[in-house]
Amino acid sequence: MPSEKEKFYITTPIYYVNAEPHIGHTYTTVAADVLARYHRLIGDNTFFATGTDEHGAKISQKAKIESKKPKEFTDEIATKFQMAWDEMNISNNRFIRTTEEAHKKAVQNALRYMYDKGDIYLDKYEGYYCTGCEQFKNEKDLVEGKCPDHQVKPEWVSEETYVFKMSKYAKTLEEKIKKDELKIYPESRKNEILSFYKNENLKDISFSRKNVKWGIELPWDKAHTAYVWSDAFLNYLTILDWDGSGKKCPEMFPPEMQLMSKDILRVHATIWPAMLLSLDLPLQKVMFVHGFFLVDGQKMSKSIGNVIAPKELVKRYGVDATRYLLMSATTFGRDGDIGWKKFDEKYTADLANGVGNLVARTSNLLEKNEIKIDLKSGEDKKIIKDFYDKMDKCKLNEAVQVIWDKFRAMDEYLSEKAPWKMDNIDEKKEVLIKVAQNILNSAQLLQIIMPETAEKIIKQFSAKQIKKGKALFPRLEK
């Protein structure tokens, strides 16, 4: 645990507004929320950033399909993201949209700084462009001529463009990643990026589009709009009210932790830090790459029809249970398979029959036997240490497990001692107090994962006469 107040700036990717939020986005955002709540709990000066990525061809094409103006369309979807995060009890300090005036202005200033420095120059560029990725693709990235992530043939683009001199920063970045000055977790992902640096010469990259109108105009040449990723990356700065001046570093910058999945690691480990070097700003400290969710073994996709929206989960399980199910579903950092059947089973085993039943049994017995107690929390140093250890290593599902191991142990202890059969009231009291104390201690840690449930338990178990409350996790309907 840090002795002084440390800074902790954490970010999620800003999500594309071409469609409503799904559980993939929700997973990253809840994980960031859990980490942010943890760092606030241990006293760090914490800032948690998330938002939406709204410019570019991908979005304007989708708006057109929906017969809407881009602004009208992005307003609608961005609001859905904000509502989803409000509903999920996400504690972000701010929500940024790349269509905000202040962001646009700052992006123009930043690109102007890089241009004046000679890091951006006019050239001609051609290549295969995947609008789904909003990236140029090398031929060898394609599988049977298609982008493997989007299953479409990229279009051949050949146009005049402003180019960012990324090659200039390749060596420095490779060194910094090697030396862990810019950390990438898990280790396998770091190796993947290092072999990319080794095998591909980092090339200069197209940074503007002439044929994409839905974007931020380059201040020195209004015929071009900024490449959507250059616009998007700068959100990590503009959300801190940065005005786009190179060298001018906001107080909370750089991020201590950037969360994302593997789909966007490469750009985050090349373009983004190269831009920071060009802007004379410090690099992000850690990038943590979590796995991808598959739904019943398949990639989530509209065409397969297996996309799960967070509001569907909330409707069936409630907010806190959804947070729990997402955080405990897979090993953080690895791909994992999820699905309704698995969620139902886990809800029933760990929540309804697990902690829900334990809390109900214990409080019921305390009330029935009129046992008065006065519990104080924070007594169990061991569980705190185990939990903090896991959180510090970003082992989120294992941190959750530490709490559930305790609940399970108490459940077994209660069944074994069977206080309801005991005649001696002191013995009965001893057993029940021990269980109640452990429930209260665990609930203190549970706050960062299931804030509302934890608050209910803490309130219930801090009373002098503990009473049986309403069921925390009602049984599921078929």
Q: Are 152 and 256 in contact (CB under 8 A)?
A: no
Residue 249 among the catalytic residues: no
Residue 147 among the catalytic residues: yes
User: Within 13 Å of residue 35, how many CA atoms lie on the same side as its CB?
Assistant: 27
> H or E element: which one contains 164?
strand 155-164
For residues 308 and 316, give the distance between their C-alpha atoms in angstroms, rounded to a whole number: 12
Give the shortest CB-394-to-ligand MSP separation in angstroms: 14
Cβ proximity to ligand MSP: between 221 and 337 the closer is 337
Long-range contacts: 146-153, Cβ < 8 Å, 24+?
149/263
For residues 94 and 273, give the distance between their C-alpha atoms in angstroms, rounded to a whole number: 23
Cβ proximity to ligand MSP: between 225 and 441 the closer is 225
Cβ proximity to ligand MSP: between 25 and 428 the closer is 25
Residue of minimal Cβ distance to ligand MSP: 24
Selecting among 58, 104, 147, 165, the annotated active-site residue is 147
Residues 6+ apart with CB under 8 A from 443: 377, 454, 457, 458, 461
Helix/strand/coil for 122: strand
Give the shortest CB-194-to-ligand MSP separation in angstroms: 20
Selecting among 62, 103, 133, 268, the annotated active-site residue is 133
β partners of residue 121: 163
Which residues of this protein are in contact with ligand MSP, per CB under 6 A?
A: 13-16, 24-25, 27-28, 53, 232-233, 260-261, 263-264, 292-293, 300
Cβ proximity to ligand MSP: between 66 and 263 the closer is 263
Residue 224 among the catalytic residues: no
What one-letter code names the amino acid at 29?
T
Helix/strand/coil for 194: helix
β partners of residue 125: 159
Selecting among 58, 62, 130, 165, the annotated active-site residue is 130
Cβ proximity to ligand MSP: between 15 and 197 the closer is 15
From its phi and psi, is residue 118 left (phi > 0), alpha (psi between -120 and 50) or beta?
Answer: left
Cβ proximity to ligand MSP: between 208 and 261 the closer is 261
Give the shortest CB-461-to-ligand MSP separation in angstroms: 35
Secondary structure, 3-state, 348-410: HHHHHHHHHHHHHHHHHHHHHCCCECCCCCCCCHHHHHHHHHHHHCCCHHHHHHHHHHHHHHH
Give the shortest CB-17-to-ligand MSP separation in angstroms: 8
Nearest to residue 112, comparing CAs of 232, 216, 236, 241? 216
Q: Which residue has the tokens 């009965």?
A: 428
Strand boundaries in 131-256, DSSP class E? 135-137, 155-164, 183-185, 205-206, 208-209, 217-218, 221-226
Cβ proximity to ligand MSP: between 28 and 131 the closer is 28
Helix/strand/coil for 159: strand
Residue 394 among the catalytic residues: no
β partners of residue 295: 298, 338
Residue 302 among the catalytic residues: yes
Give the shortest CB-264-to-ligand MSP separation in angstroms: 5
For residues 42 and 388, give the distance between their C-alpha atoms in angstroms, rounded to a whole number: 9
Q: How many CB atoms lie within 10 A of CB 126?
A: 12
Selecting among 302, 341, 421, 478, the annotated active-site residue is 302
Give the shortest CB-273-to-ligand MSP separation in angstroms: 12
Give the shortest CB-202-to-ligand MSP separation in angstroms: 19
Selecting among 68, 137, 150, 395, the annotated active-site residue is 150
Cβ proximity to ligand MSP: between 9 and 407 the closer is 9
The pair phi, psi for residue 130, each rounded to 5°, is -100, 115
For residues 401 and 216, give the distance between their C-alpha atoms in angstroms, rounded to a whole number: 46
Nearest to residue 27, comparing CAs of 355, 296, 338? 338
Cβ proximity to ligand MSP: between 43 and 339 the closer is 339
Give the shortest CB-133-to-ligand MSP separation in angstroms: 8
Q: Are 434 and 417 in contact (CB under 8 A)?
A: no
Selecting among 25, 39, 58, 290, the annotated active-site residue is 25
Give the shortest CB-287-to-ligand MSP separation in angstroms: 11
Selecting among 22, 190, 346, 406, the annotated active-site residue is 22
For residues 293 and 308, give the distance between their C-alpha atoms in angstroms, rounded to a whole number: 11
State the catalytic residues.
22, 25, 130, 133, 147, 150, 299, 302
